[in-house]
Chains A and B, each alone.
Chain A
Amino acid sequence: MNYIWAIMAIGGIIYAMINGTMDEVNKAIFKSADDAVVLAISLISVMVFWLGITKIAEAAGLLKGLVRLAKPFIARLFPDIPKDHPAMGYILSNLTANFFGLGNAATPMGIKAMEEMKKLSGSPKASRSMITFLAINTSSLTLIPTTVLAVRMKYDSQSPTEIVSATLLASIISFIGAILIDRLFYEIRRRKERHL
């Protein structure tokens, strides 16, 4: 990640030197820094709200109920996490929120899931479950793609929701793909470790 991060900036600045776009780059640096602060501040409202609601749901035993429903499926995906661990509840609520297009609820729950997984592994390195969790998250299994629906309605689509089934199908395929790729990389890592 260090390399990618540095190369994006270095590459951009050198390109700007050659092509005379330094003015734009200069502006973009501070504009994007501002944007990041605005984004983080707007995350506060979302985080406080959803973590508050999640806390109530947790105390009411709703997260446990959710885990019980999806247990066979989820336990197979995350073999490193004990079945009754709170991480499971957060992972599931994150996936559920993503599924219903509640992107802003998914983030706080995902972070809580990561916290719990870090407690389990106790190391600053990404654990197996974390990588699986993020792979699933980036493939974003969605029933209601809220943002896209809004854009389609804005441009007077005859049927804004006609893409829902296609989106669901495509995201199921990439969801399965993500799980398979994750397993493949895990196996490669394990082989390497065995050879050391």
Chain B
Amino acid sequence: MSLLATASMWIIPCLILVVLTIATAKRLPTYELFVDGGKEGIGLAISILPFLLGMLVSIAILRASGALDAIIGLITPFLSFIGMPADIVPLALVRPISGTAALGMTTELIATHGPDSFIGRLASVLQGSTDTTFYVLTVYFGAVGIRKMGDALKVGLLADVIGIMASIIVVTIIFGA
């Protein structure tokens, strides 16, 4: 177990410890505050449900029909032509749309190519350095009832493109192809 892996396990309990210690030292009604703040969470989670359900169903239809794979199949030759490793293209395309699908692909890439291979490392970095843009937008805008997203989707997706390119370049430089 490395230092970082241990750190990731200690971090939440330690955070709770710090917050509670300071609050208690300040003689705050910690338990009441906790319950008070927590109450909001129930309503928020439920209010996100329709947004989440709508988005997940639409994405599921696209995936289950095979249309998503077909689109990926069409784009892959083009992207690998401009220098993107072919194995990684489907993951890069799915990452902003579906978090579960992307994690599934990352796991599969790591399983087949090995975690310490170029593809395995690249999949790891790509998975870790980008987020599911669709999910983030759905949840955050849904929770507060924003209907006009403005440029948010465009900006988010372009940021993903940069993240994907950055992952490929950084992994190539640090670990070699």
Chain A residues with CB under 8 Å of chain B are: 1, 4-6, 8-9, 11-13, 15-16, 19, 21, 24-25, 27-29, 31-33, 35-37, 39-41, 43-44, 46-62, 100-102, 105, 107-108, 110-111, 114-115, 117-118, 124-126, 130-131, 133-135, 137-140, 142, 144-149, 151-153, 155-171, 173-174, 177-178, 181-182, 185-186, 189
Question: Is B46 in the interface zone, CB < 8 Å from A?
Answer: yes
Residues of B within 8 A of A15 (CB): 65-67, 70
Residues of A within 8 A of B22 (CB): 60, 62
- Taking a contact as CB atoms under 8 Å apart, the answer to whether A148 and B41 are in contact is no
C-alpha spacing A55/B35, complex, angstroms: 9
A-contacting residues, B1-41, CB 8 Å: 2, 4-5, 7-8, 11-12, 15-16, 19-20, 22-23, 26, 28, 30, 33-41
Given A51-B40, A126-B149, A134-B137, verify A167-B129 contact (CB < 8 Å).
yes
Given A25-B64, A165-B174, A181-B159, verify A174-B125 contact (CB < 8 Å).
no
> Which of A46, A56, A118, A146 interacts with B146 by CB under 8 Å?
A118
C-alpha spacing A108/B170, complex, angstroms: 31
> How many Å from the CB of A146 to the closest CB on chain B?
5
> How many Å from the CB of B1 to the closest CB on chain A?
9
